[in-house]
Structure formats: C-alpha cells, structure tokens
Structure 1
Amino acid sequence: MTSDDILFAEISTIAARYRDHSLSPVKVTELALARIEALNPVLNAFITVTAESALASAQRAADELRAGNDRGLLHGIPIALKDLIDTAGVRTTCGARILADHTPIADAAIVRHLHHAGAVIVGKTNLLEFAYGIVHPDFGPTWNPWDASRTAGGSSGGSAAAVAAGMCYAAVGTDTGGSIRIPAAYCGVAGFKPTYGRVKLEGVFPLSWSLDHAGPIARTSADAALLFDALLNRTPRPLRALDLRGLRVVALVSHHGGGDMQEAAMEAFEDACISLHRAGAQVASVSIPNLDLAESALFSILGPEASAIHSRWIKERPQDYAPFTRLQIELGFTVPALAHVRAQQYRRYLTGQMLDLLADADAILSPTAPWVAPRKDPAITEEAGAAEGRRTGLYNLTGLPALTVNSGFGPGDLPLGLQIVTRPGADRLALAIGAAFEALRPDVIRKPPL
C-alpha cells in the first residue's frame, strides 16, 4: 500500500492490519503527521499539532496491541479535535485572541473517552472564532482540499478539511446550527450531529448551551459510527448492514428547492432520492407549516445564549474579538425577551411536527447546504448565512440526530451533501442509512485533488 492507500483507507481496514501486524500505529501516525506538515501551510486546518504526544500514544497502542490489550477499532487510529475541546497541557484557543494562550489543566470528557479507546490525537483543528460566525484574523481561514481558494466551511472547517485531506482518519467537531454538517458537506465527507445530549459537552467551550452538539466527522458513515461510539465511551463496533427495501423516507418540499438552491444541488438531491428508491426505499414529499420561522427562532435563542456566555469579555476585552464576532455578540443583547420566549414556543411546535413526521417515516432527507463551498464563510446574521444554514439549524432546535454524506459533485467538481435525519435516539439508524447510500453510490467516496 502507498501512503495515500493507507491514509485514505477505512478505519476498519487499518485496524485489521494492526492486528495482523502488517502495519503499525507508529508508522500510520508518522504518515499522518508528515501529511499535516506538508498540507497544513496550504489548508490551515490545524492550530496546534501534537506530534510528540501522538507518537508516544501510537507507540503505546502498538505495545498494547502486541500484548493482547485491544481497546477496539479506534486503538492506534489518528484522530483530531476541534480547538474548543479542552486538552490537558495543550492549548485550547477557540480560534480566538482572548484564549490564544489558554492551556487547560484537565481533558474534556470526550477526550478522556478517546484516550480510553486508544485513539491517537494528532492535534487541534482550526475553527471560526468561538465557533461563532467569522474567522479571527490571528488564526485565519481553513481552506478546502477540493479547491484551496474556497472555504472548508464553518465552524468545524478545520476538522472537515483535515479528514478530507487525509491528515487524520476522523475528527471531532461541534454543531450549533450546522457547524459539523456544512463543513463536512463542503469537504465531501460524512459529518454527524447526534441526538441532543447524547455526547457529553463537559470541557467543550459553549456557543449556545441549548443548541450545542459535539459529534464525529469521518470519510464514511461507518468510520463516523466508530468515533461516535468512542465519544459515548462505548467500545467502537461496526455498523450492521441495512436493507433499504421498505425504508420509509420523506423529503421536505421547501428544502429541496427554492431560490437559494444551486441547480446542481437540487439535481444531486433528486439523484440521491432516485438511488434510494431504486434500492427499495419508499420516498415521499411532505410539507411542514411555518417552517420558514426556524431561522429567526434559531438566532432568537442562540444570540442571547452566546451573549450571556461572552458578557464579561465583551465588556472587558471588546477589541480582542474579530469585528463581526463582536457585532454578533452585541446583537444578541438586543433580542427582546418576548422574541426569545416565542422562539422557545416555536421550538416545541417544530419538535412536535418533526416527531409526527417520524412516527410514520424512518428518516427525513434534504440537501445539507444549498450550494458547493463558497469563497468565504457567510455570517449567520446575513441572508447568505441564513440560507446556508436553512436546512441544518432546525435540527439543532429540535435536537434530532442528523447526518450528512457526500451526494455527488457540482460546479468545479466540488462536493454536495445529502442530509439524513432520524427520530431521537435513532442515531445508528441515520448512520446506517448513510452507509447504505454510500454503498449504492461508491462514486461519492473520492479523494480530493491535493
């Protein structure tokens, strides 16, 4: 196998080679670190690379596997963390000047879980400042491996780009309105926002405590499922193959069309639905009344919560924020209490509507984003930002598990995403549907040109 064959293989393939002793965690980690060194100057996917500790972890994994101490399929696998997840003794910046020199004294809960699974953490990935809307100029944007003149997306862009570019096998991101799924879609990989509350957020810097989720980004749904298990502190186990015959899926009419949609994104979504139908799935179109209120409701909750979190720093160190981040925090203080209450009422209404849909269907489908990766990240308070998150933010409001997988390619041969949403707690069903779709469409699993 060449270095690319190794770095772009599925985790289960590398795990099998560890166990037949034809490949070692040390060798694989060395290859991942070499790729980070070569590509990070172009992509800016990592803020901090933990080469020394990664190699030590890889050697420990090799010794443990040789001694028969097998921690599961992530044992010895290089993984990255979004840089708002606390790592003991390793700086955690949140992509912000305010925390540029912040070094936690304890690991976040999910980091402890990853250590327990034997994962090798190769570094901390770049993000929008405090995961909120804009890049801080001190850290700069993350560029897309499919076209380095375009964004990798926000806010978990560093995690998505690192996975897509073969710098690691999977990475952890966070998602408050689409921040795992949109970068994953732009970078052509799988990104999963679990059911709200499934993954512990202790030690993860919050953006909006009632909307935040942490979850995996990986090249395939099967790999994402392994990392998801580890984040739950469970032994990673393979997904069971899913028979699509009889699967009931519905598409929200207002989300697979509209003036904000690129034609290629609509075509890729329609092709995905046709592929599922030909495999035996039942596909229907449905509508939900008042779905257009989701965007304003999201900000009426996110804005005040984020502003409350930043209330001290915005008074004491306003000049240290990027200008647009500061503006968004200031706007959060202006949201009327009545608007916040109405948004919470709408949230309960929308959740009820979604649960009613999922009582008669196994999954809801939509495009993940309305277009391929743009040149830069739109701010969430702008119309383009609202359009970008129109199909993702409502699942943060409702807390439903939502997966994006690559569904094809659009202008410039850039990836497009298919979003798969299931009922609360049916996280592995979403991942299994994603894996079944990827099996139907092997053309969507492709290495970027870098």
Structure 2
Amino acid sequence: MSATDDVLFLPIAELGRRYRDGSLSPTTVTRLTLERIERLDPTLNAFITVTAERALAGAARAEEELRGGLDRGPLHGVPIALKDLVDMAGVPMTCGSRILADHLPERDAAITARLEAVGAVLVGKTNMLEFAYGIVHPDYGQTNNPWDRSRTAGGSSGGSAAAVAAGLCFAAVGTDTGGSIRIPASYCGVAGLKPTYGLVDLEGVFPLSWSLDHAGPLARTSDDARLLLEALTGRSFVLEREVRGLRVGVLRAHAGGEEVEAGVHEVFERACAALHEAGAVLADVEVPDLDLADAALLNVLLPEASAVHARWLSERPGDYAPATRTQLELGFAVPAVTHVRAGQYRRHLSRQFARVFGEVEAILTPTAPWVAPHEDPAVAGDEGAAEARRTGPHNLTGFPALSVNGGFGAGGLPVGLQIVTPPGQDGLALWLGGRLEELLGSVRLPPGPG
C-alpha cells in the first residue's frame, strides 16, 4: 500500500487533527478517496452511485470553513458513504432493486441532513441486497469481500462494510433488521453497531420491517463508529472506565453449536481469555427460551415486509429477484395470531435479557457462526436462520449490539465478536469494542490491490 493510500486508513480523529494543523486538506483526501473508488470498486462492487461532484463541492466547502475558523466537529470534511436505502435529495435511491431504479428522492433523510450539518463529505450510495431482504438483485450484483473477492461482503449492508474495509470511505451508514450491519462487519473485519432501537432517526430510510429496523455506523474501529453515531444522534457516547472489574456474560448457547466453525470458536475463546487476563470478570449466562428467537424473527419480519411491498408485488412481480419475490409471498402466509404471538415473545425475551443484565454489564458471543461464505444465504432458509441466530435476538429486543473484528479464521478471513449491552448503553458497547480491539490487536487492513 502506498503512502498516499495510507492517508485513507487514518483513524478519523487523526485525520481531523491533520486537517486542523494544515498537513492534509478535505479536498485532497476526497480526491484520493474518489480515485481509490474508481480503481477498486470495479472488483468490489461496493457502490451503486458515486456522488463525485457533490463530494468535491462538500470537501471544498469544508476546507474553506475550517480555514475560516468554522469547525463543525469530528466528521467535518471526512468522506462518508450511505447505504442505498437512505434518501439523498436529487441522488438515485434504488434499494438495490429494479423497482426503484429510476427513483430520485426530493428530500434528504434525517440521517443525510445530520451528516450534512456536521460537514461530512458524502461520497456515494453503497450496494445492498434487494430491499435489504437477503437476496442479490441481478441488476446490481453481489458486493465482494475485500479479504477474498470470491466471497460475499455480507448482507444486507455489504456495500457499506466493504467500502469501509477497503478504504473507499472512512465510515458508512448501514441498516440492520436481523444482523445486516453486524454480519457484514464480521465478514469484512470492521466495527458495526446496531444501536438501541429508535436511537437513530429512520425518517427517509426505506423500511424492511418497521418494528425491527435500525440504522447505525460501520467503521474500521469502534472509536470511529462512535464518532459517526454521535453525528447521527447529536449525543456523546464517550465512556471512561477500566476493564478490570467489568462483568461480562458469556452466552454459551451462542458461543458453540454445530454450525460454528472451529476457527470462529477459537477466536471467541481467545477474546474471553484476553478479557480475563485484563481483569474482567467472566461468567456463563443463560437466556431462557432463546431457542425460539429464530422463528419469532421471521414471524415478525416476513409479514411486515410483505405489507410494505403489497402493491408492487401485485403490479410488478417480475421486477423483483425471484427469491425476493418468494420471500415476500411467504409473508402473506403468516397467520395474524402467529405474528401477535411473536410480539408477545419479544416482550418475554426482553425481560429475560434484562434479568441477565442484572448480573452482568455486557454479553459476548460470536457475531456469525462462520467466516464470509461465497454467497449470502436466503433469509427464510435454514442457513439464513443459522447466520442470524446470534444477531437476530437483539433486533427482537432492540438492545444495542456491536460487532468488532476479533481475529481471523479459515483462510485468514475475519471473525466478528458481538458485544450486547442494556438499552441505552450504546457507549458501553463501543467502549468495550475498543478495548477488545486493543487487547487482540485485531484491526488490520485487507490484502490485495491497494
């Protein structure tokens, strides 16, 4: 990797320091970012739309403001990307589907407006699975993994995760309905947070399942993810404490299982050992009835998604990828009573996790049971259920959950660790993620073209 490209992998705080001491400028960094996108994205397929002119104009404005003494905060002049289901006025928003191929939003989403207000440079809209529903639409194709381009970057926020990992932006926004931030973060070796439900405003974000949907940050480190979350919410999530004495629950039901690859289990055990050596107090914990979460997730997700798409499914069924259409049709077959019982289970599951959080401060599991596969499994299939088994419960409860890179498994591919904390304790999850990154030395750059 060249010295020029090294700039594109700086921590956001360090980039900001260099902007403010004059050794780097937003215009220079944005040009380098766009050049890197042009060079690498043909093989990664991380972007659907690159907003080069808008980005350069934003960079020039940020540069002028910083020179004039107007400082909008840590993301001022920093290249950021948005998943292509977030509205940006006048920029195509496709949701990775032929259905919205010609859609031009008239207004910015709340997320977009917040990022504009803090001076972020928006470089483009990232690729995603069709309507965030687990299937690649052939018009847009799969986002490939920067660690192995024959494998997927994950879904549905794979474009955001791959762009961050490959240095095509410093951070990106994704969405998560059953693991769609955390699973790509795991596969691509970056940090990805599903915040507390409702923390990030979803106005102007196209829904998959309105009671499960979350939007949140993907970044190369937990600290960078924190800075993006602060920009998205206007709140501070800085936390100062010691690892020593921290009570961490090890959810053994999700640490193992026949689907968990040996390399994933080894990385997880190393992380537990590192926390113990640093003085954390680890204890095995159990969550009653956790095994019912797989079915409950689908019994909420499927009918809510089908309700969103009912008109298009009737009028334009051939414009969906065939597997997406099949999943949408399945949603109409879920009985209303089943959907209601899934809602009752959600409240029960939240109470069970709350009980566990009376004993520990955070829960640790692997994020996914395996490293990045060659293709994304269908949401409604057995592999899809296994992939989301560790992430989906936290969409049902709405509790914050962060994936960080914990090391490397089969083929030298990244392995994610998931940190879950009580609702509103997003800062604790991000702080612990940062400590794990330090203890494990797990923040690395992918190989290949640089």
Q: What does residue 41 of structure 2 align with?
A: 40
Cα deviation, residue 239, structure 1: 3.5
Q: Could you tell me how far apart the structure 2 residues matched to 1:38 and 1:145 are?
A: 13
1:215-294 equivalences in 2 (<5 Å): 215-234=216-235, 239-294=238-293
Could you tell me which residue of structure 2 aligns to residue 184 of structure 1? Answer: 185
Q: How many Å apart are 1:241 and its aligned residue?
A: 4.3
2:287 touches 2:356 (CA, 8 Å); kept in 1?
no
| Deviation of 1:289 (Å) | 1.9
Q: Name the counterpart of 2:303.
A: 304
The C-alpha deviation readout for 1:361-394, integer Å capped at 9, x for no partner, is: 1101100000000000000111111000000000
Match runs of 1:138-157 below 5 Å: 138-157=139-158
Residue 106 (structure 1) aligned with residue 104 (structure 2): no
Deviation at 1:4, TM superposition (A): 2.3
The aligned runs of 1:383-394 (5 Å cut-off) are 383-394=382-393
SS at match of 1:292: helix
- In the TM superposition, residue 238 of structure 1 has moved relative to its aligned partner by 7.8
Pair 1:449 & 2:444 matched: no
Amino-acid identity (%): 65
- Residue aligned with 1:285, SS: strand
* 1:275-354 pair list within 5 angstroms: 275-354=274-353
Whether the aligned pair in 2 keeps the contact of 1:241 and 1:436 (CA below 8 Å) is no
Q: How far apart, CA to CA, are the structure 2 residues paired with 1:3 and 1:371?
A: 34
Partner of 1:430: 429
Q: Which amino acid aligns with 1:85?
A: V
Amino acid in structure 2 at the alignment position of 1:65: L
Q: Equivalents in 1 of 2:134, 2:80: separation in Å?
A: 25
Q: Name the CA distance, whole Å, in 1 between partners of 2:99 and 2:437.
A: 41
Q: State the AA in 2 paired with 1:445.
A: V
Secondary structure at the residue paired with 2:124?
A: strand
SS in 2 for 1:310: helix
Following superposition, the deviation at residue 229 of structure 1 comes to 0.5
Query: How many angstroms apart in 1 are the aligned matches of 2:234 and 2:331?
Result: 35
Q: Residue 19 of structure 2 aligns with which residue? A: 18
Aligned equivalents of 2:307, 2:152: Cα separation in 1: 29
Q: Partners in 2 of 1:227 and 1:424 — Cα distance?
A: 19
Task: Look up the equivalent residue of 1:342 and give its one-letter code.
Answer: R
Indicate conservation of the 8 Å contact 1:172/1:214, yes or no.
yes
Amino acid across the alignment from 2:283: A
1:9 paired to 2:6: no
Structure 2 residue matching 1:182: 3-state secondary structure: helix
Amino acid at match of 1:111: T
Give a deviation string over 1:196-242, Cα, whole Å, max 9, x none.
000000000000000000000000000000000011134xx684443
The CA deviation at 1:337 is: 1.2
**Post-superposition shift, 1:290?**
1.6
Is the Cα–Cα contact under 8 Å of residues 206 and 212 in structure 1 kept in the other structure? yes
- 1:302-336 deviation digits (Å, cap 9, x = unpaired): 00000000000000000000000000000000001
Query: Gaps spanning 5+ residues in structure 1: where?
Result: none
Query: What's the offset of the Cα at 1:449?
Result: 0.6
Separation (CA, whole Å) in 1 of partners of 2:425 and 2:74:
22
- The Cα shift of 1:36 comes to 0.3
Q: What is the alpha-carbon distance in structure 1 between the residues aligned to residue 322 and residue 169 of structure 2?
A: 32
CA contact (8 A) 2:87 2:107 kept: yes
- Matched letter for residue 154 of structure 1: G
> How far, CA to CA, are the matches of 1:434 and 1:289 in structure 2?
26
Residue equivalent to 1:198: 199
Q: Deviation digits for residues 163-182 of structure 1, max 9, x if unmatched?
A: 00000000000000000000
Q: Let me know the Cα RMSD of the aligned residues.
A: 0.9
Cα distance in 2 between the residues matched to 1:242 and 1:326: 49
User: What do the CA deviations read for 1:148-170 (whole angstroms, capped 9, x no partner)?
Assistant: 00000000000000000000000
Aligned AA (2:86): I
Q: Which residue of 2 aligns with 1:69?
A: 70
Conservation of the 8 A alpha-carbon contact between 2:239 and 2:428: no
- Which has the larger displacement, 350-359 or 155-164? 350-359
Per-residue CA distance 1:251-290 (angstroms, 9 max, x = gap): 1111000101000101100100110111010111111222
Aligned equivalents of 1:286 and 1:15: distance in 2?
41
Which residue type is aligned with residue 176 of structure 1?
T
Q: How does 1:364-443 map to 2 (within 5 A)?
A: 364-442=363-441
Amino acid at match of 2:56: L
Query: Partner residue of 2:50?
Result: 49
Is the aligned partner of 1:171 residue 2:172?
yes
Q: So what's the TM-score if we normalise by structure 2? A: 0.98
- Does the 8 A contact of 2:239 with 2:427 survive in 1? no
Show the counterpart of 2:215.
Answer: 214
User: 2:404 is paired with a residue of what secondary structure?
Assistant: strand
Report the CA distance shift for 1:30/1:298 in structure 2 as closer, same or farther (over 3 A).
same
- Contact kept, 8 Å, 2:245 with 2:280, in 1: the verdict is yes
How many residues in Structure 1 have an aligned counterpart in Structure 2? 447
1:294 to partner: Cα distance:
0.1
Partner SS state of residue 359, structure 1: coil
1:358 to 2:357 alignment = yes
Q: Distance in 2 between matches of 1:246 and 1:136?
A: 48
Q: Secondary structure at the match of 2:140?
A: coil
- Contact 1:160-1:171 within 8 A present in 2 as well: yes
Specify the code of the residue in structure 2 equivalent to 1:18: Y
State TM-score, norm by structure 1.
Answer: 0.98
SS in 2 for 1:255: helix
- 3-state SS of the aligned residue for 1:360? coil
Q: Kindly provide the amino acid, as one letter, of the partner of residue 446 in structure 1.
A: R
Question: In the aligned structure 2, how far is the partner of 1:315 from the partner of 1:21?
Answer: 57
Distance (whole Å) between structure 1 residues aligned to residue 252 and residue 438 of structure 2: 26
Report the Cα distance in structure 2 between the residues aligned to 1:241 and 1:3, rounded to whole angstroms. Answer: 34
Amino acid at match of 1:135: V
Which letter maps to 1:350? L
Q: CA deviation at 1:105?
A: 0.4
The residue matched to 1:81 in structure 2 has which SS?
strand
**Letter matched to residue 250 of structure 2:** A
TM-fit CA distance, 1:5: 1.7
In the alignment, the residues of structure 2 paired with residue 272 and residue 176 of structure 1 have an alpha-carbon distance, to the nearest angstrom, of 26
